[in-house]
Amino acid sequence: MEMEIPYTVTARPDTGAYNAKIGIWLFLASEVMLFGGLFSAYIFLRLGATHWPHHLLNVPMGLFNTFVLITSSITMVMAWTALKMRQFQSYRRWLGATLVCGVVFLGVKSMEYKDKFHHYGVILNNGQEITGHLEMSPAEARKSQTLRILPDAEDSGSFGHQLQSVFGRPAAGEEKVLEIPKSDIQWWSNFTPRYSTYLATYFTMTGLHGLHIIGGLVVLGFFWGPGAKLYRTNPEHLANRVEVAGLFWHFVDLVWIFLFPTLYLF
């Protein structure tokens, strides 16, 4: 005899919520603690730092990604309402749009990461920091006794300069390629987590957030594809599952809404 699991569609009378909703909120509570811990660590590291970089991240790109994720939350909730209205084709379209937004977000984020990996910083023996792009391959730079680096323009942190750099490398202006002997260099590296505490926290927080986006895309992809078969037998059960996935997706988007100003603006 087959036994049916209770409260997958209707709410439990004592909690007022169906099983999956209780489960997702318990999970999201643990996620709040995870990201809350990271945000707390960021605040304390920043308060304790003698030097904290500003305008290192590309605000126009971050802003574009913010719009993409906000749009994805809207399409997500539209997919759920379409399912509640039993409009299956509309549900597939809205959920498909959410998937596209998630993929676009990851694409832009990977461009940002690539840009950081090609950006270099040099600490001279006198403590001065020079940042810019190598005018030689990283392999050459490792072997050579001299580093050839095109320093960042004076206004490289400005919104206008960052906007130009989205569409290609902006004109360097009066800047000239510097040839720095390795004997004058204390330390040099590209902008990876080891470069500074700021970049370490940036990659940790955005990397973890990116993993959440990938996880969300897997779940949403399932409900767009094979998981959508449930609609034929129990549409309300599918609507509940999509609602739970939507709650996770909204949470992940909400984390970005806090990450963007924290890391990009202030």
Partner 1 sequence: MSLRQFHLLFVTIVTGLFLGLGGWALKGYYDHQGGLLAWLGAGSLAVALLVVVYGAWFLRKTRRMGLVE
Q: How many residues make contact with partner 1 (CB under 8 A)?
A: 26
Nearest distance from C-beta of residue 161 to partner 1, angstroms:
9
Exposure b/e, 159-174, CB count within 10 A at least 16 = b: eebbeebeeeebeeee
User: Strand, helix or coil at 213?
Assistant: helix
**Binding mask of the shown chain, residues 75 to 114, with x at each position contacting partner 1 by CB under 8 A:** --x--xx--xx-----------------------------
Interaction between residue 36 and partner 1 (CB under 8 A): no
Task: Mark out the alpha helices in 58-135 (DSSP H runs).
Answer: 59-84, 88-117
Nearest distance from C-beta of residue 6 to partner 1, angstroms:
20
The DSSP bridge pattern shows strands 185-190 and 146-151 to be: unpaired
Tell me which amino acid residue 63 is.
L
Interaction between residue 74 and partner 1 (CB under 8 A): yes
As beta bridge partners, residue 187 has: 123
96-104, 145-153, 166-174, 243-251 -> range binding partner 1 (CB under 8 A): 243-251
Interaction between residue 43 and partner 1 (CB under 8 A): no
77: Cα within 13 Å, side-chain hemisphere: 9
Instruction: Give the DSSP per-residue string, 13-48.
Output: TTTSS-HHHHHHHHHHHHHHHHHHHHHHHHHHHHHH
Nearest distance from C-beta of residue 98 to partner 1, angstroms:
13
Q: Within 129-158, which residues bind partner 1 (CB under 8 A)? A: 158
Q: Which region, left, alpha or beta, applies to residue 170 given φ > 0 means left and ψ of -120 to 50 means alpha?
A: beta
Residue 260 Cα to chain centre, angstroms:
9
Nearer to partner 1, 208 or 254 (CB): 254
Interaction between residue 250 and partner 1 (CB under 8 A): yes
Q: What are the phi and psi torsion angles at 190 (to 5°)?
A: -80, 175
Pick from 20, 180, 247, 263 the residue near partner 1 by CB under 8 A. Answer: 247
Residue 122: both structure tokens together: 């040099």
Interaction between residue 171 and partner 1 (CB under 8 A): no
The DSSP bridge pattern shows strands 185-190 and 120-124 to be: antiparallel
Nearer to partner 1, 29 or 218 (CB): 29
Nearer to partner 1, 84 or 93 (CB): 84
Interaction between residue 224 and partner 1 (CB under 8 A): no
Nearer to partner 1, 89 or 266 (CB): 266
Q: What is the DSSP letter of 135?
A: S
Nearer to partner 1, 46 or 148 (CB): 46
Nearest distance from C-beta of residue 136 to partner 1, angstroms:
32
Nearest distance from C-beta of residue 159 to partner 1, angstroms:
5
**Can you give the binding site for partner 1, defined by CB under 8 A?**
25, 63, 66, 70, 73-74, 77, 80-81, 84-85, 158-160, 163, 243, 246-247, 250, 253-254, 257, 260-261, 265-266
